[in-house]
Amino acid sequence: MIRQLTDSYPVERLCECLNVSKSAFYAYRAKHTYQPSAQQLKLVQATKECFYEHQRRYGSRRLVLDLQEQGYEVGRHQLRKIMKANQLQAIQPRSFVPRTTHSNHAGPYSPNLLLDRPAPTRPGQVLVGDITYLALQGGEWAYMAGWLDLFSRKVSGWSVDEHMEEELVHNALQKAIAHNQLAKGSIVHSDRGGQYVGKAFRTTLRLHQFEQSMARADEVYDNAFIESYWSRLKAELVYQRVFRSVADAREQLFEYIELYYNRRRRHSSLGYVSPLQFEEAYYRNNLKTVS
């Protein structure tokens, strides 16, 4: 634009109006300005492809690892500059605000078995569970129950339905039992909601010799791990689309949880590997120790 208008206006005035230095303009006119190499252009394109492949869920910390695995020599500082220049801004979850469960049942309540205990040392040792709401098209609601493995952060079992009765959390727990190695003495932790004191739910706990654990009354951080997961799930999936029905919600949640979150999504607390990769590494190392 400056070059086109130099016949009508002074270069100094044009540069001032357009916030361009005169030296930069003269370097541009002399073809001395920076031109990215073919390799750098390839890196920019790979960054964009990787960013949108993860549906805007990855920031520079996770993207740089993916790109390095593809063979690109790139650091996080360089990648942040590329992302900023190309307006690639990752989805940010809303600030996690723990909530208090209002239970109107008579119990009996179970104690919080996670207090002052060391962190789990193997998969299936501790499951933490909760229920969340899912908005449907037309103003209706669905409800999701989930069980998160505290060792690997894997979603071990989940269920979606039109109600939030005991059956919802019980179905999710049965899936966790069917698809994971849960041993005698495994801790199953939840809030104090009435769904977790139901007869069928507690019968399953006794049958498998699990220990039930519950958050303390009005202690909002006692179930913070699963609450934090809900924040991430909603930021990366729920708030990005509208579920047409309960069946549609199940389908999209299956794709996110089973095909993406558990298998591919890098987790910061696991050294930036996915939950399943973390579990696989545990079993490989354990087999070596046994051998």
106-133 as b/e, with b when 16 or more CB fall inside 10 Å?
eeebbebebeeeeebeebbbbbbbbbbe
pLDDT at residue 219 above 90?
no
**Domain locations along the chain:** 38-86, 126-290
Dist CA 82 CA 76 (whole Å): 10
Dist CA 51 CA 214 (whole Å): 39
Take residue 109 and report the two structure tokens written for it. 């309540």
Q: What is the mean pLDDT of the chain?
A: 91
Nearest to 180 by CA among 144, 199, 156: 156
Per-residue pLDDT tens over the stretch 175-190 = 999 999 898 999 999 9
* CATH for 126-290 (3.30.420.10, 2.20.70.10, 2.40.40.20, 3.40.1160.10): 3.30.420.10
> Which residue bears the tokens 């104690």?
111
Dist CA 247 CA 250 (whole Å): 5
pLDDT at residue 289 above 80?
no
168-181 as b/e, with b when 16 or more CB fall inside 10 Å?
bbbbbbebbbeebe
Report the pLDDT value the prediction gives residue 100, as an integer from 0 to 100.
41
Maximum CA extent, the chain: 88
pLDDT at residue 29 above 50?
yes
pLDDT at residue 214 above 50?
yes
Nearest to 157 by CA among 184, 136, 130, 183: 130
